[in-house]
Structure 1
Amino acid sequence: MERRQHERTSRSIRVEMLHPSIGTIVGFTTDISDGGAQVMLENQAIPPVGTELQVLFRKVVGPINAEPVTMKVVHQFRNTIGLSFAV
């Protein structure tokens, strides 16, 4: 049974996730929707479920969002985390 509220789009976008105690984590989206994103990390510490991060989405030439958005880690599996936009 599908529980997602938003349609996903497969897209690879560079993601910079900032946290005061963890530092900066870099990854790439595997898909993104109006509700959040699935992000693949490479050889980095994975923040625990429930962690709130300040997130910047970047394209080759510059940022997609000028100001970081708050997102929450809602799941993790191996080197992939699911982020939802905080409300």
Structure 2
Amino acid sequence: MIVEDERRKFDRKPASIRVEMTHPAFGTIVGFARDVSDGGASVLIENHQIPPVGTVVDVRFKKMVGPINDEPVKMQIMHHHRKTAGLMFVPDPR
């Protein structure tokens, strides 16, 4: 029996969604969400350097025929390993 140290608050759902992360310092980086939850997403980034941990980026999720979210959402880079970044949704201060 394998027991995993699972500290996640939200269930993750497998996904393959195009992700566009934008930041004034590096422009737009395109990746693909491997899984998504109510707390964040795991994003595979192939052709760009992943921003440093702690960076807050504007994120748009896109499907083949259009955006999933019209307005970008704020997400923070929480960790990265090789070509995968863990992003967490940043609560709206309003």
Partner of 2:34, secondary structure, is: strand
Between the aligned residues of both structures, percent identity stands at 59
In the alignment, is residue 44 of structure 1 matched against residue 48 of structure 2?
yes
Partner of 1:32: 36
- Looking at CA atoms only, which structure, 1 or 2, has the larger radius of gyration? 2
Partner of 2:27: 23
Partner of 1:74, secondary structure, is: strand
TM-score, normalization: structure 2?
0.91
Partner of 1:77: 81
Distance, in Å, in 2 between the alignment partners of 1:78 and 1:45 is 10
TM-score, normalization: structure 1?
0.98
Q: How many residues align?
A: 87
Aligned-residue Cα RMSD (Å) equals: 0.5
Q: Which runs of 5+ in 2 are unaligned?
A: none
Distance, in Å, in 1 between the alignment partners of 2:83 and 2:48 is 8
Q: Which runs of 5+ in 1 are unaligned?
A: none
